[in-house]
Structure 1
Amino acid sequence: MKTSTKLKALIQQRKALVVPGAHDVISAKLIEKTGFEALQVSGFGLAATYLGLPDMAFITFSEVQAFTFNIIKAVKIPVMADADTGYGNSINAMFVTEGFIRIGAAGMNIEDQYFPKRCGHMEGKQIIPTEEMVLKIKACAKVRNELDPDFVINARTDAIAVSGIDEAIRRGNAYADAGADMIFVEAPRTREDIVKAVKEIKAPVSINLFDNVEGGKTPLIPVEELREMGVARVSIPVGTTFAAFRGVERYLEAIKGGALAPGRTDLVSSFAEFKEVAGYTTFRTLEKEFLPKFVD
């Protein structure tokens, strides 16, 4: 079964599929190893880890596509790509959609902000006219229908921050009519907003939880409650990035000034654990089979 087919089926169940964000291949492999059924590539995480910059459209499509391809190759679960605003107008968005389908992505998020965009939980967002976004989704849907009808187009609206929940719902329904498979209602402020969106939008609804950190706009509602509400997907985009940040910081604090951290297994993985995730055993097996005079 194609990963896009699998992802689409999971979303249509509307049972709050939890989709953590990956910022590199190791975080993606750990998401899969832990048992999650799908993951998304975090544009926020890529900008932060590869450029050291905020999620404000500094990273290019070609860079995102290359990083996403590496992640897709490394895992078996469905991977959703981050298309930001489509990197331009509708024609640019068609090129982006084809690019992600060609590398094996199961779906993508695409949003209705002006370019350059910014993270959905940052201030200062601006959104394009509904009509422009509708045409952009129609253009992406044309590519999807030709190349992979199961590829999931997750249309994100940031309208709540600009015009409120009713405008987000109006846009969500317009985007669904244009061909979006799921509607990503970004940064709802209350539980009631989420209930209203799920009830009134005529498509599966995705909600983004800004992880267990301060600064997010959406209340941290337990996944089971979101499942009961009928939310289709729960995006947790930057938790792995923030966890990596804190983990490295704590390790460096422990060894600064020339100190070592013997026995601090709370700070680091074992060499064996890391080798397993990195696929060391697989390549040792290949060496035995294909390299002359192999030394064990």
Structure 2
Amino acid sequence: MAQMRSATKLRQILADPDKIAVCPGVHDGLTARVALHVGFDALYMTGAGTAASRLGQPDLGLTTVDDMATNAGMIAGLDRNVPVIADADTGFGGPLMVARTTEKYILQGVAGFHIEDQVTTKRCGHLMGKELVDTATYVARIRAAAATRERMGSDIVIIARTDSLQSLGYDESVARLRAAIAAGADVAFLEGMRTKEQMAQVVKDLAPTPCFLNMVGGGVTPLVTSTEAKELGYKIVIWPLVGMTSVYLGMRELCRELKATGEVKERYTDDGKIDGGVRDCFEMCGLTACSEFDKKMGGTSFTSGA
């Protein structure tokens, strides 16, 4: 099955001492296509970006499991050879709902996902005032995900995220992650770290469990390069806002230009070709591959070109 292959690939990265999964955050088909075109080995579907792109809303727990799973499945389906790690928020409810969420993510071909210990009406991990469930409730979520994975014969990677550092402190956060690992989580994710010393310490304290690092521009965690993350011992590092920030900044710039001047001037590459024209976008999304497949199968839709 396709989802088995992508999850297995992610597990191979986690098991290789020389590798780290560096994942740009994508939120729709276009941003995912760009990341694939550049050549990343894994992608991250951001929940914040999904909320912004699908709903036009902030990351305040407004997305449903169907919003998230459908978006993750679309992204994962663009290239089954590239693992997609997806945000699954809190699992969207109690153990029964977490089981349903896990099943949906498996069927959509997601390679890995993270579940956190916030209340169902959650918020971005780099906002203030987060509310948490107790450890038993959190562990029940992880246990439900692991049991569903076993029932379905999947090897999807379960990532346990805790947002407890802000209110409960480091020791309690590590205790929660250890409990989640004992319940079946494969990877540990301490959100909202504020120092590089903390970033290094949690990897040591949770060894040999692989650790996950979240690099949010404008957030509370110090930003490090992927090389530095690897040296600290992390196995997965995500830059979740790459897609959302690029769309926000690029769209804002071009809209301001159109509003001020009444036009959007063409951009050019160094060799004088139009950059970002309609055909460029279509080609990146598979225009030639689609037309060639149609011809190969005996279709006639593109015999005159596309």
TM-score by length of 1: 0.93
Task: Give a deviation string over 1:118-177, Cα, whole Å, max 9, x none.
Answer: 110011101111111112111110111222442100010001111112111111111111
Q: Distance in 2 between matches of 1:293 and 1:276?
A: 14
Q: Distance in 2 between matches of 1:43 and 1:293?
A: 37
Change (3 A) 1:283 1:17: closer
Q: Is the 8 A contact 2:13 2:20 kept in 1?
A: no
Q: Distance in 2 between matches of 1:46 and 1:109?
A: 15
SS at structure 1 position matched to 2:138: helix
Q: Is the 8 A contact 1:83 1:108 kept in 2?
A: yes
SS at structure 2 position matched to 1:2: helix
Which of the residues 43, 56, 59 maps onto 1:52? Answer: 56
2:290 paired residue number: 283
Cα-Cα RMSD? 1.9
Higher mean alpha-carbon deviation, 71-80 vs 116-125, is at 71-80
2:210 paired residue number: 204
Deviation of 1:23 (Å): 0.5
Higher mean alpha-carbon deviation, 198-207 vs 269-278, is at 269-278
Q: Which amino acid aligns with 2:36?
A: E
Change (3 A) 1:150 1:252: same
Higher mean alpha-carbon deviation, 39-48 vs 12-21, is at 12-21
SS at structure 1 position matched to 2:165: helix
Which of the residues 70, 91, 95 maps onto 2:96? Answer: 91
2:169 paired residue number: 164
Deviation of 1:60 (Å): 1.0
Q: Distance in 2 between matches of 1:169 and 1:264?
A: 49
Which of the residues 76, 83, 105 maps onto 1:78? Answer: 83
1:6 paired residue number: 9
Which of the residues 259, 263, 276 maps onto 1:269? Answer: 276
Q: Distance in 2 between matches of 1:253 and 1:232?
A: 40
Q: Is the 8 A contact 1:183 1:205 kept in 2?
A: yes
Q: Is the 8 A contact 2:102 2:149 kept in 1?
A: yes
1:186 paired residue number: 191
Task: Give a deviation string over 1:212-259, Cα, whole Å, max 9, x none.
Answer: x32x01001222122111111111111210111100111111222453
Within a 5 Å distance, the mapping from 1:250-269 to structure 2 comes to 250-265=253-268, 269=276
Q: Distance in 1 between matches of 2:171 and 2:34?
A: 38
Deviation of 1:287 (Å): 4.6
Q: Which amino acid aligns with 1:253?
A: R
TM-score by length of 2: 0.90
Q: Is the 8 A contact 1:42 1:82 kept in 2?
A: yes
Change (3 A) 1:285 1:149: closer
SS at structure 1 position matched to 2:159: strand
Which of the residues 23, 29, 36 maps onto 1:32? Answer: 36
SS at structure 2 position matched to 1:260: coil
Which of the residues 135, 140, 144 maps onto 1:130? Answer: 135
SS at structure 2 position matched to 1:74: coil
Q: Distance in 2 between matches of 1:221 and 1:257?
A: 38
Change (3 A) 1:39 1:257: same
Deviation of 1:294 (Å): 4.3
SS at structure 2 position matched to 1:7: helix
Q: Is 1:217 aligned to residue 220 of structure 2?
A: yes
Q: Is 1:241 aligned to residue 269 of structure 2?
A: no
Q: Is the 8 A contact 1:28 1:75 kept in 2?
A: no
Change (3 A) 1:283 1:293: closer
Deviation of 1:102 (Å): 1.1
SS at structure 1 position matched to 2:254: helix
Which stretches of structure 1, 4 residues or more, deviate above 4 A after TM superposition? none
2:72 paired residue number: 68
Among the aligned pairs, what percent are the same residue? 33
Change (3 A) 1:9 1:292: closer
Matched pairs, number? 293
Q: Distance in 2 between matches of 1:190 and 1:292?
A: 57
Q: Which amino acid aligns with 1:198?
A: V
SS at structure 1 position matched to 2:252: helix
